[in-house]
Amino acid sequence: MNFVSLAGLLGVLISFISCEAPRETGFEDYRMIDLTHTFDQDTLYWPTEGRFDHERTAWGITEGGYWYSSFRFAGSEHGGTHLDAPIHFSEGKWGVADIPIDRLAGAGVVIDVTAQSASDPDYLLSVADIDAHEAQHGAIPAGAAVLVKTGWANRWPDAKTYLGSDVPGDTLNLHFPGVSPEAAQALAERGISMAGIDTASIDRGMSRDFRTHQILAGAQILCLENVALSDEVPARGSTIIDRHAHEDR
């Protein structure tokens, strides 16, 4: 089994790939793969938001004679690999602090639409894509964490190719794949816990009504965005664990 962990702001998405039956002593039999984009001066944010700021506040030997280092960081919620809590698009739903701990883990499912997205930067995951995945890999189980692979992670951190526009504040010329409202409804009906994608939004770049966000949030499904999804995470056989550090409230 593979074991994948996701964190929000300043988070880490790790894949633990099992080589054999795990021992009771820990994760010695798992290979770790970091699937989170680094937070630094190149981190991409939603075009209307500011950049990531990391300030050194202490670095060196103190008056007491011991070493001490300390930093301060700031940034918008919606940049880098992060989680959207349901309240982001649905009044009265969970903020991050409200999410039950058992909703932060689920069987990993990766639906690959890289071929479709390569020829159409505005591609939407369809119900047919979900059906085709299930026909090949089996039914998506309730409580699963479904990740949509478009190939966009390979474009990070070039804003022009990743977002479709590198103009600050420009939300009218964004082009990247997403999940259709119909597919979002189909995933909600399957009772998944999380839906993630390797682009800047679970809705495609040219969306104006964010219907997919609304559907998933209304069903208390957590959204994971800017996932640094690699070929090393299999279509089935992983466990996704969400470790977050920011919230929409």
Q: What residue type is assigned to position 28 of the chain? A: E
Beta-bridge partners for 36: 227
CATH of domain 2-242: 3.50.30.50
Active-site positions read 88
Confidence category of residue 1, pLDDT binned at 50, 70, 90: very low
Structure tokens at 18: 């099992």
What is the average per-residue pLDDT within 193-221?
Answer: 97
Tell me phi and psi for residue 98, to 5 degrees.
-90, -15
In which band, very low, low, confident or very high, does the pLDDT at 132 lie, cut at 50, 70 and 90? very high
pTM, two decimal places:
0.86
User: Which pLDDT tens digit goes with each residue over 108-128?
Assistant: 999 999 999 999 999 999 999
Distance CA 222, CA 199 (A): 15
Average pLDDT over residues 193-201: 97
pLDDT digits (tens, 9 = 90+) for 28-81: 666 666 778 888 889 999 999 888 888 899 999 999 999 999 998 888 888 889
**Phi-psi category of residue 210: left, alpha or beta, with phi > 0 → left and psi -120 to 50 → alpha:** left
pLDDT computed for residue 76 by the predictor:
82
Q: What is the mean pLDDT of residues 171-187?
A: 98
What is the tens place of the pLDDT at every residue in 140-156? Answer: 999 999 999 999 999 99
For residue 11, pLDDT over 60 is answered with no
pLDDT computed for residue 239 by the predictor: 82
The domain spans of the chain are 2-242
Whether the pLDDT of residue 26 is over 90: the answer is no
Q: What's the pLDDT at 78?
A: 84
Residue-level pLDDT at 244: 58
Q: What contacts 132, CB < 8 A, 6 or more positions away?
A: none
Residue 17 has pLDDT above 60, yes or no: no
Mean pLDDT of the chain: 87
Q: How confident is the model at residue 8 (pLDDT cuts 50, 70, 90)?
A: very low
